[in-house]
Structure 1
């Protein structure tokens, strides 16, 4: 993600640049955990990976490693690579993403065209075929959404409004695993293990209601003011295409309402504060602390009328939004709901609406000049709806048992290396070490695919109803999550698909997930040089392990309970290291007027530093007794660090990079590659000198674990 807490990989495909796939065109251009956004190769030479797994041709050896390690490792690639016209960014994940997308396409299209296909895989094929039927979609026009529009027009009072809003609630956010924090529905719900009582499942209520990425797009000046103007024009155009009268005036009211919602939203930094979000509310608290919304009607429509316990993650936003339901005119809310119904449905409606959605969410917001081919959008949407049905077949065809075994062995080595690092900490007390070692000892790791697959038997899929298919899939996913309430806590659910090029730390379960798709070159190659493997996938593994001990993960104990297991002195030292790392990253500027937010990205940066150091330890342990052989002119130590830096190569369109810095918990890859400046071994490997730009005096190098 990776976590795609996703936490990495933004990894940027963060390993998590990738955001979660929603059945909504505004997400279609974002690199997604499930599939690749494009099959196109860059308009420059492909990375010419040597037989040892790293790309010497993509380097820029005219740059000193100690001045800019990202440029040294990747400058040639950056110079000769163009971002494909249907993408907002292009990075080292793209090769894997392209191959994986093609494999998934073959599986789905095979099911769509096979009359003998049956079960869930057949449903995936039918889902894909329904979306690919452009002529049928065009012929049906707005008919698929007319029933919902009619129902919205008939909302007669605020109680009916509350019931409508509750009926739209979906489990479409994920606070701690995938860090998927936004929804255009008024609220989102995350149903997961209770962070106060790990033996039960609880719904977490999360702020929502915005069509643009987050509150700053509504409240700041400069570029954001122009985006608001363009967003209002988009709202008006969608309403016009939907046959709604007085579209311009209604668009103005919709934007004004969303500005009011944005004013009460928590910031991204506040939302990342676990203790600020850990607000246990009883059912009565919703009425008392968040008056305005008819909570009884809302919860009944959401199927949560019997739920007595909630966690209000952003209590100020929940109270503020609820008050707006009461204070804003009913007709304004109806206009708002009509727009979002049309906007959400746009990918499944006639071309004019789908194109308008692309024009704003991809082209205007992220600078993407060309819409993805329809089959690519179909693959993404099918993965979103029936991803594990596809994933089961993907694993059977493309994931070798020996790859799984090799990756599991590497994970075991790196976990052991992290445990050894805990033992070696001279600043940590025995009491805190004991707790940390219990947590690493209890860490559960899953590689490749889940032990149990999602059952889609209850999902009805029709070849002539693409919008209905998407709505039913969303409803089923919500019902499957809601069904966990009142049941024993389970630790077998996967929060990303096997065909996802990413990895995940699940802090409430003290568990790591490494999907099959990321275990491919250039991250992992069983035939490649061990130094490169440990620098690439090894650092990813170390990153995910370290998320259990970053500024957020370190607040959870071995059972996943939110508990302070630190002595005051140890916590003070840990926080001081985090503050130093946040300050280091806040110095990196992507533009003259925009720097990385070191506090927002702190968890990922801690995981990078600790993960890289741990992978380096594990690599050295794996090489005991083996000769240090130079390959392609580079020592093993140099190849290790080059493997890491080349994993973070990438390019962004300007608008997409600006958005990422504002909203993403991962720093851009060009700055993540500079993490090496905190490891003593990097200085030795490349002879880095005090007069070089990345040089840090030994006392300034941040060592967290």
Structure 2
């Protein structure tokens, strides 16, 4: 994968990935491609085989095998979907057409069977300030384009996207046999533009100090009176709830006013379009193709639609993924790998403790004590949950994909809100075992690593320790670091949102983070589009902290011994090379711009070069000097964790 003719000090990302970057093409059915994607493709093929086995089984009604097989078969039966036309959606479309008041609109928006968008969305999670209970969170929503910038930015690219969006909306109405599509499309764009103007920017939405606003129902109704909260909550099954956490509080207030000021007819058109668009893949091919032409080709630059079977795997994973995951783990995850991962995690924890003792010079003793308590309390979850979801009560029918989709929507919503008033389920996972990803949960203080990511190049039980620590070790450190990034640090060891920092330590942290952000603000992945350090701050801190922790843990694993030289590379060199190759990735321009605007992660090149240039050990490993492009003077290298 390497281009050894490149100078690692000028462009380390090119040095470790240059040959791969030069010779690899993004598959026509993808918007980007890299190490994560390659592993995801492998997992996708393995899941396909699991699904096909289930489909070939004479399964008992209601069993996991029956649901897996019948859901997939209903998706693959394009002839049946085509033959039914709009008939499966007609009752819901007639219902929307018959709405006559803002109260009825609000009720429709709350009905999980419709799955309709609204100026708000909601979900159940642990209460960040009362972590022994669940609460319903309310957050801004309702836009059809990826971000408010797509409505408000006057660059030609965004003007073209808005024009294509209007054309697509008109096309949906025309295909559905409804008149006045052009006028309706323009009205929907104007409505969504007004909603965008009233919405918070993504960077602001990251701020956990701003996004916890507990209100009683009466307080919410007084604060945001333009929306009929009683009607929407009754339809959503939430009428017994008296308290809610409102995330973007004044945005919800303004969006509620927009709701009241917008005519019922416009809301009906908005609901009609989004209902059809949201169900496009369960409708005749012309709807599915039009949806892909806009969201896939125009918005993301993806030349070709994915094969039907691949999309079917995604449908099954997204609907009953844990049922598949149980089999996936049995077939593809060796138990000894879990034990080795647990050892890696423990070494990372020890490394963090050592850095708190010796490497975090800017933090005072009082805050360090709280940090140690948080570190001691955090929980790692490796590979798969102790108990898998059984999807009891979900009806899946072999020849009814539209109905399966709708029933799953309602089942999922009811399953989520059933948590309210119940004890906290500490065993719950929010990714399936076959997912190539990982996450940190601040209000649970836990890191979660599904089985599918625990493979090369991230992790190999037989690999050189330098490679494992530079790969999965740094990813583990990254997720642990989220508990101590600019937002995760606002919760304590119990997951409770509270300020446990001294004022002096907070000021020093903010200064370091600000310096780090200035580095990323100078990066321009594509001409005219620089990174937003406020949006990417948490992930950037996670990357830098994760690498520092992983390096320390790697040294612990050597138990004082010198790492061997392999293929002419020292242990330290292999450690940094592993990190660089984990993030090898190519992007289509449209996708890269989309990510710059919406993704809290920096593009891969900067996850590598932006991190290593802040680590003294990298300079020593590759003999980097002030003549090299990535060189930073020692006093400008940021060390946080």
Structure 1 equivalent of residue 125 of structure 2: 192
Structure 1 equivalent of residue 369 of structure 2: 434
Contact 2:59 2:65 in 1 (8 A): no
Q: Return the offset for 1:409.
A: 0.9
Structure 2 equivalent of residue 111 of structure 1: 54
Cα deviation code 1:593-632 (max 9, x no counterpart) = 1111111100000011010010000101111243431111
Other structure's SS at 1:451 match: coil
Structure 2 equivalent of residue 124 of structure 1: 68
Within 5 Å, give how 1:435-454 maps onto structure 2: 435-454=370-389
Contact 2:112 2:409 in 1 (8 A): no
Q: Return the offset for 1:95.
A: 2.1
Within 5 Å, give how 1:262-301 maps onto structure 2: 262-301=196-235
Within 5 Å, give how 1:228-239 maps onto structure 2: 228-239=162-173
Q: Return the offset for 1:184.
A: 4.4
Distance 2:123 2:515 in 1: 33
The structure in which a higher percent of residues are helix is 2
Within 5 Å, give how 1:592-671 maps onto structure 2: 592-671=527-606
Q: Does 1:480 align with 2:415?
A: yes
Residue from 135, 150, 156 that aligns with 1:217: 150
Q: Return the offset for 1:527.
A: 1.1
Measured on the aligned residues, the alpha-carbon RMSD in Å equals 1.3
Other structure's SS at 2:525 match: strand
Distance 2:300 2:443 in 1: 33
Q: Return the offset for 1:265.
A: 0.7
Structure 2 equivalent of residue 341 of structure 1: 275
Residue from 572, 592, 596 that aligns with 2:507: 572
Residue from 16, 22, 31 that aligns with 1:73: 16
Residue from 129, 132, 137 that aligns with 2:81: 137
Q: Return the offset for 1:299.
A: 0.9
Other structure's SS at 1:64 match: coil
Q: Cα distance 1:117–1:369, how it changes in 2: closer, same or farther (>3 A)?
A: farther
Distance 1:198 1:332 in 2: 41
Other structure's SS at 1:643 match: helix
Structure 1 equivalent of residue 27 of structure 2: 84
Structure 1: any 5+ residue segments left out of the alignment? Answer: 1-57, 173-182
Distance 1:195 1:397 in 2: 37
Residue-pair matches, total: 637
Q: Cα distance 1:66–1:155, how it changes in 2: closer, same or farther (>3 A)?
A: same
Contact 2:138 2:247 in 1 (8 A): yes
Structure 1 equivalent of residue 248 of structure 2: 314
Distance 1:408 1:243 in 2: 58
Contact 2:112 2:410 in 1 (8 A): no
Distance 1:295 1:534 in 2: 50
Residue from 678, 683, 687 that aligns with 2:619: 683
Structure 1 equivalent of residue 640 of structure 2: 704
Q: Return the offset for 1:321.
A: 1.8
Cα deviation code 1:405-429 (max 9, x no counterpart) = 1111111111111111111122221
Distance 1:184 1:375 in 2: 28
Distance 2:316 2:407 in 1: 13
Contact 1:169 1:188 in 2 (8 A): no
Q: Return the offset for 1:93.
A: 1.3
Contact 1:169 1:187 in 2 (8 A): no
Distance 1:136 1:489 in 2: 42
Distance 2:118 2:60 in 1: 36
Structure 2: any 5+ residue segments left out of the alignment? Answer: none
Distance 1:643 1:229 in 2: 44
Distance 1:359 1:607 in 2: 36
Within 5 Å, give how 1:408-427 maps onto structure 2: 408-424=342-358, 425-427=360-362
The TM-score with structure 1 as length reference comes to 0.89
Distance 1:546 1:95 in 2: 26
Residue from 424, 427, 431 that aligns with 1:492: 427
Other structure's SS at 1:114 match: coil
Other structure's SS at 2:517 match: helix
Distance 1:152 1:510 in 2: 42
